[in-house]
Amino acid sequence: MAARGDLIVSFFVGGPVPVDTFHWDAEATGYIGSGNQVADATISQPTRTVTRIFLSDVLVEAPASAKAVVAFGDSITDGASSGLDQNARWPDFLAENLAPDNVAVLNAGIAGARLLNTRMGENAMVQAQSCHSAEDKCDRRVAKSAP
């Protein structure tokens, strides 16, 4: 996949399942179709959504020389009000500038996140403490994606 390329993920859910992963304002259009359409080139009668459900991570293989920077922050980092389908979050611009140097940018912005105080989401200190030890079994994206 080319740097800053678009990724399409298709999956089929065979029946009712609880939604454990949810991102209410992804600033990117997604599509939902009924039935198993995974192998189809287009979605028949799609319903548009800007909400992300089920998908929380995308794992990629990269050469050992690849580098990454994590953009950690609140709704501004997440992309609030950056424009639907514009890829105009500040981490997108950072990624554009770092791509020629083979540096990826991982957007870990969480709308409502706070560094010290909990509000809409858990504060960063609580999240960091759950990922503290070297042998940690933490399921946080950034901690698990380290080589």
Residues 34-43 have pLDDT tens digits of 999 999 999 9
pTM listed for this prediction:
0.73
Residues 115-136 have pLDDT tens digits of 666 666 666 666 555 554 433 4
Residues 76-116 have pLDDT tens digits of 898 999 999 999 999 999 999 999 999 999 988 877 766 66
> Which among 134, 136, 123 is positioned nearest to 73, based on CA atoms?
123
**Could you write out the three-class secondary structure of 83-124?**
CCCCCCCHHHHHHHHHHHHCEEEEECCCCCCECCCCCCCCEH
Q: Residue 40 has what pLDDT?
A: 94
Contact predicate 12/36, CB 8 Å:
yes
Task: Give residue 128's identity as a one-letter amino acid code.
Answer: A
Strands 52-53 and 47-49: unpaired
